[in-house]
Structure formats: C-alpha cells, structure tokens
Amino acid sequence: MRFRLLLVMLGVVAVVLAVHDIPLAWHLERVERDRFVTKLERDAFVIAGRAEEALEGGTAADEPIIAALVDRYSAQEDVRVAVVDADATGVVGSDEDVLQEDFSNRPEFASALRGEPTTGERYSSTLGEELFFVAVPVLSGEEVVGAVRISAPERVVSDRAASRVRGLLAVALISLAIAVAVAWVFARSVIRPLARLRTATDELASGDLDARADETAGPREVRALASSFNSMANRLPLLVEQQRAFAGTTSHQLRTPLTALRLRLERLAAEVDADPHLRDSVQESLAETDRLRRMIEGLLALSRADDAAAAVVTVDLAAVLRDRADYWKPLAEERDVTIDVDVPPAVEVSVVPGALEQIVDNLVDNALEVSPEGSRLRLAATAVPRGVELHVADEGPGLSEQDRQRAFDRFWRGDNAAPGGSGLGLAIVHQLAAAGNGRAELRRSPSGGLDAVVTLRTPSA
Amino acid sequence: MRATDEDVRVQVLLVEDDDSIARSLDESLRAAGYEVRHVSTGRDAVETMSTGAGWAEVVLLDLGLPDMDGYDVCRAIRAESDVPIIVVTARGEELDRVLGLELGADDYIVKPFGFRELIARIRAVMRRTEGGRTAVTEPDGADDAVEVGPLRIDRRTHRVTLDDGGSEVEIALTPKEFELLSFLAEDAGAVRTRSDIVEHVWDANWYGPTKTVDAHVAGIRRKLGDARWIGAVRGVGFRLEVPDAGSG
C-alpha cells in the first residue's frame, strides 16, 4: 500500500510536469535560438559599421584595426567571422584562408551584397558540419560596399538551448523529489496506524483477547476502523464465554438423562439375567452409556483446558517425564514394551498447571495402545530455539500423513482404535499445549511408527 | 442385593425432580429391599422431614431442584434431624462438594452414577452414622481391616501388609492404588467392572486416559510381587484373588 501510494503520487506529478514542461522546453529552445540570432545580427551590424570605411576607401591602413576586432570577437564567442568586399572577395576573417577567397557562390553573401540581411542554416562542405549563420551588408550611404557573415556551428545554438532544457529538467526532478517526500509522509501517516491495527488483529487472532487498537492515531477513517475493531474485540470474550458456558452446561445437563438411562439398563440387566443373549445385549448397552459418559467428561475436560490459558507455571519436564515413565512402566512391562527415557538432568518449561502430566499420560496411553510386543517406546526432551520438544515415539504401525493432520480433531478416532475411547485425548493434548503457548503435532518416527511431538515454551521465551 | 442383614426395611426419602431417574431409582431400591418415599420438590422434602420426623433413615437429595436451592434444603433438613443425607449432583466440581458436605451432607454421588455405587454409598453412610452418632469415639478397628489370604488391608491406617511366609512385609501404595485394592478386596473373587472401579476410586465425573485403571492395576501387581493377585477379565474388569500357593 505504501508503494502504491508513492507510485500514484509520482505518476500524477510526472504527468503534470510532462504536460507543462515539454511545450515549455520547445518554446525555450525557440526563444534561445531567436535571442542568438538577434545577438549575432547586432554583432554583425557593429562589425559592418566598423568595416565600412576600410572597404569604401580601399585603404589597407584600416584593415589591421578590423582584423583585430574580428579576432577579439571570434575568440570570445566561438564563432567565425568573414568580411568580403563588393566583389565578394574575402577581406578580413577569423580564419587565414578567408583572405582573397571568392565567396560569390555563397547564397548568403549574394543576398547580403544585394542589401538584404540573411539568416539561416546550411551544411558547410568546407567544415563538414551544420552551420548557423547571419550575413549583413556593409553600407556606405545607399551603396553596398561589402558584406559581413558571422557563422557558428549549429551545436553552439543547440548547446545553449539544451542548457536551458537541463535547467528545466532539474526543476522537474526537484519537484518530483518533493512529491515523493510528501507522499512518503502521507503514506506513513496512513500506514502506521494500519500496521498497528494489524498487530492488534494478529494478537487477537493468536488468542490474546485483551488486544486493542489505538483509536487516537491516524486519519479519521483509520480511527473509525480501529474503533470498530475494538468494539468487536470487546464482544469477543463474551461470545467465547458463552460458547464455553454452553459446552459446560450442556455436558452437565446430559448427565441427568444419562443417569436415568443407565439406571434403567441396570434394572433391565437384573431382569434378563437368565437369558444369555439379552443379558449380553444389555451389558453392551451399559458399556455404551459408559462411553457416552467418557465423552461428556472429555468435553468438560476440553472446556476446562480452554479456560486454563490464564496462568502458566514453570515445571521441570525431565522430572515429570521420569515420574510418568515410572508410573507407566509396570503396565508396559506386562505388555512386553520397554519404555526408554532420554532426558537431560533438568529441563524447565512453561505450562498450564497440571497440563504436562495429562499431556504425557494421554500420549503414552495412545502409544501403548499401538505398540507391538517386544517394541520400545521412547520418551525424550530436546532443546529447540525458544523452546523444548517433548517426544513420545512408538514403533507401532504409524499413521498416514492425512491422518496425522486430522488426529487432533475432536472425536477423530483411528481406524483400529480400541473401543470405548472418546476421541478427545489428542484434542485435549493440543488444547493443553496451546494454553501454554505451545503446540502439538504428529510426525513419523524413524521406525515408521508415530512420534508425538509437543513443543513447549521455556520460561524465559 | 439386600439392604441390611436384618429383615428390617431401610426407609429412603428420595428427593428428585427428574421423573425418569426417580422412577427407576424407586423400582431398583424397592427391588433391593428398601422402602422408598419420593418427593420432587425441596418444599415437600422439608415438609416430609418436619411432619413425619424420624421416618426416613437416609435422604437422597438431588441438588438441582426446581423450587429451592439444594443447599437450602440440605440445611433445612439438617436443622430438623440427624438423618444421613447423600447429595446427588450433576456437577462434580469441588465447590459443590465442599458446600454440600459443609452444609451437613454425609456423602455425595455424582451423575451418571450406577445403582451398585449408590447402594455402596448408602450402606457406608449408614454404617458410619449408626456407629458415629450413637457413640462418637467408638473404635471400630476390626471392621476396617480386610484380609484376603496373606494380604491384609487396613482402611483406618491406610496400611497394606503381606504375610510372606511368617514375616510381615509392608506394601507402600499410592492413595489411588490403595483405594483400588481395597475396593477389589471388599468383594474378593468378584469381578469389578472398569466403570465401577472408575466411579468408586475416582468418580463418575473423572476423565483421564483409558488405560489409567490398567496402569494402576499393573502398579499394584508389581508391588505385590505376583501378577496373579489381580486377574483381568477381558472386556469386563478385574478381580482380586489369592495366587495359587503351589505354583507361585
């Protein structure tokens, strides 16, 4: 946006300058040319006036005076001067070869000797370049006694015009620079409040419900936007609260009909005890009520994990991993699974109170479920920039890339998951990790099994 | 499932506004040998207790009543009588429990509870109050210890000892392991289902990894030094049994 604003501003100024300056440059060039012609004409008449007596009397005594004048003049002005007598024979010139040369075939001398001053341009084959010239008659009374021609290479004229145009260009560039500076300041005054608004939006999106935009800075429209943003941000905690409360209340409300269902099934179980088929069926129904119960409690645990985001504490991950490994080892041994713990002496992480034990237990629970007999289960902690990775890696069959992505969804269950699971374990792990600004993901372990990785923040980060 | 060993029917006042739960509890309690009176409002409950004082031997009180706050009902009943009160709640949160017990409730049970767990609570409360209210200081040590073969579980001191061929070895269990073992020992040889175990050792509102019970069972087995102490019944639950001395 900043660059677009700059481009628009530059474009507008450039068009205005072009519309204004191109005709002006053309005009300036013509003015300059006219001024040059006028000056040369005036000079030519001055020289003609001085040359009059010399050409009239035919006395050689006056010639050195004119020659000195012509020399001085031509040296000063980078022009060439030629003076001819009435027969168009060179008398005095800024160049030696003018003397005695016959100029009668030059049209400008011909018209000057007829009494008409001439200006023009022509190509000089003698000098091999375009010439710009002025020729005037030398008059003695009414009689033409000779002619004076001042010529200059065309480039002298165009150089003068070009320097004018360059001046114009310099002014145009300065105007552009000023336009850029003004556009920059303007763009900043719009962009900076927008950038701050964006920061606030990002903070809000990452879960900081206290993020607010500055309503006092920037143009009116941006302030209005910031104010709208803030009223939205003010409403958000209310909506989140309502949603949480809904999940909580609903789960509580479900417990009562679930109790009624369970009590009735238990009554029924006692009645049909004699019929093995009916009894099994009722027992399975009872197992389903237990699964329903687990789901309700799982949802409540999830909404508690949502609420937990507020406070974090510093916990020694290594100690927790060793402790949980000790807790799970007897069961793992019964299933012929070896638990390896690979942790440094102490690793401090920043988590929601009680979250770490739940995270590790859920992950080990899942890993044991898929671990084949004789396999190993690895618990590890490794340092990464600004955090610590907690690994729970099994040697089971693993999951496809797609399933690894979806496994954190609520109620997602693997194809061969054990019956009775709620499908909420990984969702809770994810929520608990996120509550402490960490994150959870599933990777492929080197053995092809699953490597559950939870990245946790270190206290300083 | 008889309420008491004597042939006297225990009278239960059921305060429950949910008809479906009330009807099935009514039926089940009657089938189990209890006498039941059902009221569905707090006012009726208080009235029943004040007019027919001394009638109920146990009150089952649902805290979520339509007309009165459950805690107020609890306080009102307690003001009239020493009858044991078991609070029934759908909200297992700490606050409810503390409040319920401080206001004079003797125990609580959280929905969705099973009938067996309810009966266990009623019996436990009646045992406690029968002893406690008549003679507060009466020691009842003998009743609190359970012996299963060489294993002795003392509920009062939370100690577990194993008679290892003459010498007594003390087994150090975590609180949950102790609860689990003593729950299994209450009816040694009988299978306890997973949901019964979860309900009794944790509670109906507990949520944790599915293999938590297995992990605790494995922990106890290891501490007892013989995996056969606790047998698993596939798909159902666990039972405590004395390992066959000959082979083990």
The CATH number of residue B123's host domain is 3.40.50.2300
Same domain for A318 and A409, yes or no, is yes
Residue B230's pLDDT is 94
The residues of B whose Cβ lies within 8 A of any Cβ of A are 18, 20-21, 24-25, 27-28, 31, 64, 90-91, 110-116, 194-195, 204-212, 214-215, 217-219, 221-222, 227
Which residue in A259, A270, A365 is closest to B111 by CB distance?
A: A259
Domain boundary among B87, B114, B134: B134
| Segment among A177-191, A300-314, A343-357, A373-387 with least mean pLDDT | A300-314
**CA-based nearest distance A334→chain B, Å:** 7
Residue B91's pLDDT is 73
Residue B138's pLDDT is 39
Residue A434 and residue A307 in contact, taking contact as beta carbons nearer than 8 Å: no
Count of structural domains, chain B: 2
Give the confidence band of A329 by pLDDT, cuts at 50, 70, 90.
very high
Same domain for B122 and B16, yes or no, is yes
Domain boundary among A306, A341, A363: A306
Domain presence at residue A121:
yes
Residue B93's pLDDT is 64
Same domain for B162 and B91, yes or no, is no
Residue B108 backbone dihedrals phi, psi, to 5 degrees: -135, 160
Domain presence at residue B126:
yes
CA nearest B199 in A: which residue?
A290
Query: Using the beta-carbon criterion (under 8 Å), do B207 and A297 form an inter-chain contact?
Result: yes
Maximum mean pLDDT: which of A88-102, A206-220, A369-383, B69-83: A369-383
Domain boundary among B74, B106, B134: B134
Domain presence at residue B234:
yes
- CATH value at residue A260: 1.10.287.130
Q: Which position has the higher pLDDT, A209 or B13?
A: B13
Whole-model pTM over 0.90? no
Same domain for A342 and A402, yes or no, is yes
Instruction: Collapse the DSSP code of A136 into the 3-class scheme (helix H, G, I; strand E, B; otherwise coil) and give the result.
Output: strand
Mean pLDDT, residues A167-195 taken together: 86
Same domain for B121 and B171, yes or no, is no
Same domain for A265 and A354, yes or no, is no
Beta-carbon contacts of A33 under 8 Å, excluding residues fewer than 6 positions away, are: A157, A161
Residue A317 and residue A347 in contact, taking contact as beta carbons nearer than 8 Å: yes
Domain presence at residue A420:
yes
End-to-end CA distance of chain B: 35
Interface of A with B in 370-429 (CB under 8 A): 418, 420-421, 425
High-pLDDT (> 70) share of chain A, %: 96
> Strands A129-140, A143-153: parallel, antiparallel or unpaired by DSSP?
antiparallel
Residue A450's pLDDT is 93
- CATH value at residue B218: 1.10.10.10
- Report the 10 Å Cβ neighbour count for A284: 11
Which residue in A255, A298, A301 is closest to B112 by CB distance?
A: A255
Domain presence at residue A19:
yes
Kindly report, residue by residue over A271-293, the tens digit of the pLDDT: 888 888 888 889 889 888 888 88
Same domain for B115 and B213, yes or no, is no
> Strands B151-154, B159-164: parallel, antiparallel or unpaired by DSSP?
antiparallel
**Residue A65: closest CA among A55, A80, A79, A76:** A55
pLDDT at A420 over 70: no
Residue B210's pLDDT is 82
**CA-based nearest distance B212→chain A, Å:** 8
Q: Which residues of A touch B219 (CB under 8 A)?
A: 327, 330-331
Tokens of A110: 């011909």
Q: Which position has the higher pLDDT, A92 or A393?
A: A393
Mean pLDDT, residues B211-217 taken together: 93
Give the confidence band of A308 by pLDDT, cuts at 50, 70, 90.
low
Domain presence at residue A149:
yes
Q: Which residues of A touch B180 (CB under 8 A)?
A: none
pLDDT at B43 over 60: yes
Same domain for B128 and B180, yes or no, is no
Same domain for A286 and A260, yes or no, is yes
Same domain for A261 and A409, yes or no, is no
Q: Is residue A264 less than 8 Å (CB to CB) from chain B?
A: yes
Can you give the residue range of the structural domain that contains B208? 142-247
Domain presence at residue B4:
no
Q: Is residue A331 less than 8 Å (CB to CB) from chain B?
A: yes
Same domain for A134 and A33, yes or no, is yes
Same domain for A327 and A292, yes or no, is no
**CA-based nearest distance A296→chain B, Å:** 9
Q: Which position has the higher pLDDT, A177 or A107?
A: A177
Give the confidence band of A375 by pLDDT, cuts at 50, 70, 90.
very high
Mean pLDDT, residues B178-197 taken together: 90
Q: Which residues of A touch B211 (CB under 8 A)?
A: 331, 365, 368-369
Can you give the residue range of the structural domain that contains A430? 309-457
Q: Which residues of B touch A427 (CB under 8 A)?
A: none
- Cα–Cα distance between A122 and A154 in angstroms, integer? 9
Query: Using the beta-carbon criterion (under 8 Å), do B211 and A331 form an inter-chain contact?
Result: yes
Query: Using the beta-carbon criterion (under 8 Å), do A263 and B212 form an inter-chain contact?
Result: no
Residue B174's pLDDT is 93
Domain presence at residue B1:
no
DSSP for A376-387, written as a single string: EEEEEEEEETTE
- For the purposes of burial, counting CB atoms within 10 Å of the CB of A390, is it exposed (0-12), middle (13-18) or buried (19 or more)? buried
pLDDT at B36 over 90: yes
Residue A339's pLDDT is 95
Q: Which residues of A435-447 are buried (b: 16+ CB within 10 A; e: fewer)?
A: bbbbebbbeebee
- Cα–Cα distance between A364 and A392 in angstroms, integer? 7
- Cα–Cα distance between B112 and A209 in angstroms, integer? 35
Maximum mean pLDDT: which of A40-44, A263-267, A316-320: A316-320
Domain presence at residue B199:
yes
Residue A66 and residue A81 in contact, taking contact as beta carbons nearer than 8 Å: no
Same domain for B149 and B229, yes or no, is yes
Residue A392 backbone dihedrals phi, psi, to 5 degrees: -130, 105
**CA-based nearest distance A363→chain B, Å:** 9
Q: Is residue A245 less than 8 Å (CB to CB) from chain B?
A: no
Residue A328's pLDDT is 95
Q: What is the average pLDDT value for chain B, to the nearest integer?
A: 83
Residue A89's pLDDT is 81
**CA-based nearest distance B222→chain A, Å:** 7
Query: Using the beta-carbon criterion (under 8 Å), do A259 and B21 form an inter-chain contact?
Result: yes
Q: Tokens 């009414």 appear where? A: A142
CA nearest B112 in A: which residue?
A259
Query: Using the beta-carbon criterion (under 8 Å), do B114 and A333 form an inter-chain contact?
Result: no
Same domain for A253 and A109, yes or no, is no
- CATH value at residue A156: 3.30.450.20
Domain presence at residue B91:
yes
Domain presence at residue A192:
no
Domain presence at residue A140:
yes
Same domain for B196 and B113, yes or no, is no
Domain presence at residue B108:
yes
Residue B92's pLDDT is 66
Domain presence at residue B171:
yes
> Strands A376-384, A338-342: parallel, antiparallel or unpaired by DSSP?
parallel
- Report the 10 Å Cβ neighbour count for B240: 27
Residue B8's pLDDT is 66
**Residue B207: closest CA among A358, A202, A46:** A358
Q: How far from A189 is each of A54, A217, A227, A259, A342, CA to CA, in Å?
A: 77, 9, 17, 63, 54
| Length reported for chain B | 248
Domain boundary among A160, A192, A210: A160
Count of structural domains, chain A: 3
Query: Using the beta-carbon criterion (under 8 Å), do B214 and A331 form an inter-chain contact?
Result: yes
Give the confidence band of A237 by pLDDT, cuts at 50, 70, 90.
confident
Same domain for A244 and A330, yes or no, is no
Mean pLDDT, residues B143-149 taken together: 81
Same domain for B82 and B175, yes or no, is no
Tokens of A460: 């300083």
pLDDT at B141 over 50: no
**CA-based nearest distance A225→chain B, Å:** 43
Residue A415's pLDDT is 73
CA nearest B63 in A: which residue?
A256
Beta-carbon contacts of A390 under 8 Å, excluding residues fewer than 6 positions away, are: A317, A321, A359, A360, A379, A380, A381, A453, A454, A455, A456
Which residue in A293, A301, A330 is closest to B112 by CB distance?
A: A293
ipTM above 0.90, yes or no: no
Domain presence at residue A336:
yes
Residue B94's pLDDT is 55
Q: Which position has the higher pLDDT, B183 or A86?
A: B183
Domain presence at residue A167:
no
Same domain for A273 and A412, yes or no, is no
pLDDT at B12 over 80: yes
**CA-based nearest distance A385→chain B, Å:** 31
Report the residue of A249, A250, A253, A263 to disrupt the B interface, i.e. the one with the largest count of B CBs within 10 Å: A263
Kindly report, residue by residue over B84-117, the tens digit of the pLDDT: 999 888 876 655 666 667 778 888 888 888 898 8
Same domain for B114 and B163, yes or no, is no
Same domain for A229 and A122, yes or no, is no
CA nearest A298 in B: which residue?
B207
Same domain for B59 and B156, yes or no, is no
- Per DSSP, helices labelled H in chain B are 19-31, 42-51, 70-80, 94-102, 115-134, 175-186, 194-201, 212-224
Using only the alpha carbons of chain A, give its radius of gyration.
Answer: 50
Give the confidence band of A114 by pLDDT, cuts at 50, 70, 90.
confident
Query: Using the beta-carbon criterion (under 8 Å), do B227 and A334 form an inter-chain contact?
Result: yes
- Cα–Cα distance between A81 and A150 in angstroms, integer? 5
Q: Which residues of B touch A293 (CB under 8 A)?
A: 112, 195, 204
pLDDT at A361 over 90: yes
pLDDT at B65 over 80: yes
CB pairs A-B closer than 8 Å: 99
**Residue A408: closest CA among A359, A368, A458:** A359
Same domain for B160 and B124, yes or no, is no
Which residue in B25, B64, B218 is closest to A331 by CB distance?
A: B218
Same domain for A314 and A437, yes or no, is yes
Kindly report, residue by residue over A241-255, the tens digit of the pLDDT: 887 778 777 877 888
Mean pLDDT, residues A38-47 taken together: 87
Same domain for B16 and B127, yes or no, is yes
- Cα–Cα distance between B104 and B83 in angstroms, integer? 10
Q: What is the average pLDDT value for chain A, to the nearest integer?
A: 85
Domain boundary among A306, A329, A348: A306
Query: Using the beta-carbon criterion (under 8 Å), do A327 and B115 form an inter-chain contact?
Result: no
DSSP classification of residue B141: T
Residue B139's pLDDT is 44
| Segment among A152-161, A258-267, B77-86 with least mean pLDDT | A152-161
